[in-house]
């Protein structure tokens, strides 16, 4: 098994990443992650079946609608939707998935984790890419430390 840091580095070494769960309102974690990845130079694609644009960019209703596909998917949806997004990743051959979770439930879903692992998808079941994408802001450094101490992020993936 890889450590969280190793898995995060592998996930973030991909350049085409989708963010599932962005909002038209812009007030959810997914939007912050989307902006951070976009500003860091990633080719990042927002997905939400109910939005045509997010953060001033084209938004895709689902992963299969993204031209050229993606290498990884960050899921920041309600946990009830997480398994469906993971299944879409499996169906499309996307081998890297990250379930956003810092405090509380986040997108964490045991069922989604199990189905991902059964289908050889590398899944990071917690944490946030903003804890690893440089430059890491002070708040996310603190969150990374706190959640690693309290078990909010996995030690191994």
Share of the chain above pLDDT 90, in %: 65
CATH of 4-150, one of 3.40.50.10470, 3.40.50.720, 1.10.730.10, 3.30.429.10: 3.40.50.720
Domain definitions of the chain by residue range: 4-150
List strand residue ranges (DSSP E) for 5-151, in order: 16-20, 43-47, 53-54, 57-58, 72-75, 96-99, 122-124
pLDDT score for 20: 97
pLDDT score for 52: 95
DSSP strand pairing (43-47 vs 53-54):
unpaired
Residues (pLDDT < 50) of the chain are none
Q: 């990443």: which residue's tokens?
A: 17
Closest CA to 75 of 9, 152, 15, 19: 19
pTM above 0.85, yes or no: yes
């Amino acid at each position: 098994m890889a450590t969280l840091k190793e898995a995060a580095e592998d996930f973030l070494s991909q350049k085409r990443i989708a963010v599932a769960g962005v909002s038209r309102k812009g007030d959810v974690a997914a939007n912050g992650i989307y902006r951070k990845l976009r500003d860091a130079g990633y080719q990042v694609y927002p997905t939400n079946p109910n939005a045509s644009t997010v953060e001033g960019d084209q938004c895709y209703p689902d992963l299969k609608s993204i031209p050229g596909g993606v290498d990884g998917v960050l899921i920041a949806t309600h946990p009830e939707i997480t398994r469906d997004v993971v299944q879409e990743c499996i169906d499309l051959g996307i081998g890297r998935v990250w379930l956003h979770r810092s405090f509380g439930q986040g997108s964490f879903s045991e069922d989604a984790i199990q189905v991902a692992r059964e289908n050889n998808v590398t899944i990071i079941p917690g944490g946030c890419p903003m804890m690893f994408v440089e430059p890491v802001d002070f708040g996310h450094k603190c969150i990374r430390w706190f959640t690693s101490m309290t078990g909010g992020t996995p030690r191994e993936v």
